[in-house]
Amino acid sequence: MEVRAMSPNVSPTNGADHLPVLADEVRELLAVRPGDTVVDATFGAGGHARLLAEDLEGSGKLVAIDRDPSVKTYFDRFKAAAGVDVRFLRGDFSLVLTQLAANDVKADAILLDLGVSSMQIDRPERGFSYATDAPLDMRMDPTSEPSAAGIVNTWDERDLARIFRRYGEERFALPIARAITRRRRERPFTRTGDLVDTIKLAIPTPARFGEGHPAKRVFQALRIAVNDELGALEAALPAALAMLRPGGRVAVISFHSLEDRMVKQLFRAEEKGCTCPPDFPVCACGKAPSLRVLTPRPVRPSLEEIERNPRASSARLRAAVKV
């Protein structure tokens, strides 16, 4: 996710305006060198890609992946100034990485910057933001299904409460789900403003004035469900590791505890190698370690970075090298 401090009603016009999260830390951990093949699996507005292309110093290749068709405009600008061989592949990064791995494409550095980008949040018509009334959409790929409206208008109360609780850690998940199903009997949800109003009425009055916007957690949960973000990550990580050459590095920036936990557990399992039960006297599985974790603890943004870009506050960076 690329973030910048700006009004929710401002639409970005130039990818160079965006400040990529944990940029220096990503460059240090990926350690890109001239001649490398780099994969930016979540291109967005190209903030990280521009810096990684600089590290190639005119020799190497950068492959950019993104499911959002509007990203192509940012990529074309990036390509004109990149100074290295660049290619854009449009699609869900989990599917594209899986296809590349199946075709034995190899890389020296792979970056996954998860979540929604500022260029999506700051375009009201995309429906990601609870701060502006807009169509209730939230699809990173506008051609995919379902939209957020599709979910809130058709999923039953139990399933709505489940995703609000699991993906958004919303403590009033059930009352909100009930309010949504009751309201949609009168007329279906089509606007973000209608959903925000329903959420506010469903929670206790003191909670409306607590920390953060009262609709923040529900909107996050819906976005994750609409775009199957956890499923995509689960499929993408093994494919990314399969693509890495020995000595190649992977870095993942997550913005949600469920994503971060998934990355941490996979990295630790691949670093351990052996899958035998702890009480086995000797290894019988023969599985050798495939990674060396470079970040025993997740790297977090500095206070200075958070001050410049408040949306970076929840970012966590983990990285590993293939052995």
Give residue 137's pLDDT.
Answer: 94
Give mean pLDDT, residues 98-125.
Answer: 85
The answer to the question of residue 131 being in a domain is: no
For the segment 166-180, the average pLDDT, to the nearest whole number, is 97
pLDDT digits over 10-56, tens only? Answer: 333 344 456 799 999 999 999 999 999 999 999 999 999 999 999 99
Query: Mean pLDDT across the stretch 176-195?
Result: 97
Which residues are CB-neighbours of 68 under 8 A, at least 6 positions away?
Answer: 44, 120, 140, 141, 142
- Domain enclosing residue 208, as ranges: 145-226
Report which DSSP code applies to 163: H
Beta strands across the sheet bearing 37-40: 85-90, 61-66, 37-40, 107-113, 244-254, 316-322, 291-293
3-state helix, strand, coil in the chain (%, to 5): 45, 15, 40
Q: In the beta sheet, which residues pair with residue 322? A: 291
pLDDT score recorded for residue 151? 98
User: HSE-up of 3 (CA within 13 Å, CB side)?
Assistant: 23
CATH of the domain at 171: 1.10.150.170
Report helix angle 157-168 to 173-186, nearest 10.
Answer: 140
pLDDT at 119 (0 to 100)? 60
Domain co-membership, 115 together with 235: yes
Domain C-terminal end among 201, 226, 251: 226
Same domain, 154 and 100: no
Q: What is the pTM of this model?
A: 0.88
23 and 106 in one domain?
Answer: yes
Do 215 and 233 lie in one domain? The reply is no
Q: Which tokens hold the place of 161? A: 């409460």
Same structural domain for residues 241 and 215? no
Judge if 67 and 14 occupy the same domain.
yes
Whether the predicted pLDDT of 123 surpasses 80: no
pLDDT of residue 13: 39
99 with 238, same domain: the answer is yes
Domain boundary among 199, 226, 253: 226
Whole-number pLDDT of residue 4? 32
Write the pLDDT tens digit of every residue in 267-318. Answer: 999 999 888 888 887 888 888 899 999 999 999 999 999 999 888 999 999 9
What is the tally of structural domains in the chain?
2
Q: Which one is predicted more confidently, 120 or 261?
A: 261
Domain boundary among 169, 195, 226: 226
